[in-house]
Chains A and B, each alone.
Chain A
Amino acid sequence: MTNQIDSTDKNDITDIKDYSKIRIMVVDDDKDILKLLSVWLKKAGFEIQTCSSAEDALEAIASNRPNLIITDLFMEGMSGMQLLTAIHSDNPLMPVIMLSGSAQIHDAIKATHLGSSAFLTKPIDQDDLIKEVKRVLRLTSGSRTAGEFGSNVIYCSKEMAEIIELAESVADSNVTVFISGATGTGKEVIAKAIHENSFRHDHPFIAVNCGALPEQLLESELFGHEKGAFTGANMRHEGLFMAANGGTIFLDEIGDMPLSLQVKLLRVLQDLEVRPVGSVKTYPIDVRIISATHKDLEKAVEDGSFREDLYYRLNVVPLHIPPLNDRREDIPMLAEFFLKKFTKANRRGSQHFAPEAIEYLVSSSWPGNVRQLINTVDLCATLCKTEIIPLSIVQKALQDRPQSMQTLKEVKQDCEKNYLVSVLRICSGNVANAARIAGRNRTEFYKLLGQHELNPADFRIKDNSSE
C-alpha cells in the first residue's frame, strides 16, 4: 500500500525552499515508523511517499521517481538489502538510506558495499535523520535525471540544467552554437549531444582542434587541397568541412585560429561553400557549425586577435559551461558515472566510492574541471583493489597529482601526435612526403611515429581517382 502525503507543514526549517520539491520514499513494514518519519520529513519540507513493503516500493518507484529512498533493513518478504540491489539495478545513482533495528556492523558494511548512502540505527533520532537526509541529498542530489540529453551529459545542478535546456531547445535546428568554458569542462560532450539530438545525427560529427595545428595544415585539414597544391600533396584531400557534409563540424579552440584563416572561415560561413587549397572550384556544403573556446573572445575581439564579424557569426546561441568548482553537486553523479565507465572498459567488477570519499571529492578543488575528475576517478579505480573505494585512496590520488591537469610534457606529446596524424592524413600515409613537410629525415620521422604508435599504412586510403 502506498500513501501520498503532501508537505503542508512547512515552518521552522530555514532552508525549506531548497527541499520543497524533493520526494522521499520511506519503506518500512512498521506503520508507526512510517508515520513518525513522515511527520519529521514533512516538517523539514520534503514531499513524502510511504510504502509498507519493498515490493510496493519497487512498483511505486517507476511511476513516482523519488529523489531519495529510506528503507528498513528487516522486513517481511523482500528485505531492505534486496530492495537496495533491485533499485540500483535500474537506478544506479538513486540514493538509499538504510535503517536497522540492530546495529550489526556486518549489515552496515554489506549495505555500504551494495551502495547504500547511509546507515542509521533505530530508534532514529529526528535531528540525525534530517541531517543525514540533507547530507545524502547534497552529495547525490538527483533532482534531475541525467543522461536524457546525451549519454555522457551528467548533471543535476541548476546551472547545468539551464544550459542543457537551452542546448536542447536549439539542438534540432541549423542554428550556430558557440560554447565557452574553461579547459576540461566538457564543451565537446555538449557539442556532440547537440549533434545527436539534431536531424543531422545520422551524418558525421567531426571535431577539429583549431589550436593544435599550424596555419597551413589547418587550412588544408578544414577546406581540403588539390593534388599538387603544395609539396607532398600527391593526392587530393577533401577536407573536414566536406567530410562533415550533412552533419556537424565542431571547431574547438576557435580562439586560437590564426587571423588569416578566420577570413576564410567567415567566407565559408557566409557562402556555405568551400574552396580547397590549390583549387579554382568551390563546393557547396551543408554543415552545422558548433565552435568552442576557453578564451575570452570578446577580449580577443577588443585587442584585434579575433575578427568581430566572425565572432558575431559564430556566437548566435552562446552556451557557457561553468567550471566544476561552481557546480559541486554534479560531482557525486559524475564520479560514479566515470567509475562505472572505467570498470566496464577495464572489465573489472563493480566499484563504488565510500560516502566519505565522495564527500572529499565534492570538497576538493578542480582546476582541471571534469577532465581532472575523470583522471582522478581512473587513478582511484586503478589503485583500489576492493569494491569500495575508501577516502584514503581518493586523498592519495589527489595528493599524488595536485595539479591533475595535463603536464606540459603531456600537452607537448598530444600536440606532436595531432600534428603527425594531420601530416600523415594529408600525405595519405606517404612517409617520405610527410617527413619532408615535418622537416625531419625519414629515420627520425619513423622514430617519431613509433613513439606515438602511429602506422602510416592506416592513412593509405584507397582512392579510385588517384593513380
Chain B
Amino acid sequence: MTEKKIIIPIDPDLEELIPTFLENRNTDLEKLKQALQAKDMETLRSIGHSLKGVGGGYGFDKITELGAAIERGAKDNDVPTIEQQLLEFEHFLANIEVRYE
C-alpha cells in the first residue's frame, strides 16, 4: 500500500539547507526513540523543545507542533502521548515531499 505524500511548500531560498535539515530530523527521531526506550525524559524534553523552535522557521509547522507535544509529554511524564507523537513524526518524515515555491 502506497502512503499518500505530504506536500510541503518551502521557500526556494532554503533549498540548499533542506536535505541536511531533514537528515538532522531523522537523527532526532532515532535519538527520541532511544530516549523513550530508556525513559530519559530530559532528552525527550530537550529534543522536543529544539524541534518546536526549528520546524516552523523552515516552513515545517507540523514539526514545531510535534516538538511542542513531545516537550509537553516529557514534562508530564506522559509516555503514551510521546509514543503517539513519535509515530506521527516518523510517518511525517517518511512521507513528506518538499516543493520549492
Contacts and interface: CB of A to CB of B under 8 A. Distances in A.
Interface of A: 9, 30-33, 35-36, 39-40, 43, 74, 101-102, 122-126
A39 B13 contact: yes
Contacts, number: 51
B50 interface: yes
Contacts of B53: 30, 33, 101, 122-123
The interface centre, meaning the residue of A33, A35, A101 with most chain B CB atoms within 10 A of its CB, is: A101
B58 interface: yes
B54 A122 contact: yes
Interface of B: 11, 13-14, 17, 20-21, 24, 49-50, 52-58, 64
26 contacts: A30-B53, A31-B24, A32-B24, A32-B54, A33-B57, A35-B17, A36-B17, A36-B54, A36-B57, A36-B58, A39-B13, A39-B17, A40-B13, A74-B49, A101-B49, A101-B50, A101-B52, A102-B49, A122-B53, A122-B56, A123-B54, A123-B55, A124-B56, A124-B57, A125-B57, A126-B57
Contact of A123 (B11, B20, B21, B64): B64
A375 to B, nearest CB: 44
A30 B14 contact: no
The 3 closest A-B pairs by CB, nearest first: A123-B56, A122-B53, A101-B53
B32 to A, nearest CB: 16
Given A36-B14, A39-B14, A123-B64, A30 B56 contact: no
A42 to B, nearest CB: 9
Given A9-B13, A32-B17, A122-B57, 19 more contacts: A30-B53, A32-B20, A32-B21, A32-B54, A33-B54, A33-B57, A35-B20, A36-B14, A36-B54, A36-B57, A43-B13, A101-B53, A122-B56, A123-B52, A123-B56, A123-B57, A123-B64, A124-B56, A126-B11
A70 to B, nearest CB: 13
Given A33-B57, A36-B58, A122 B17 contact: no
A122 B63 CA distance: 13
B67 to A, nearest CB: 9
B40 to A, nearest CB: 17
A241 B71 CA distance: 76
A39 B50 CA distance: 19
Contacts of B20: 32, 35
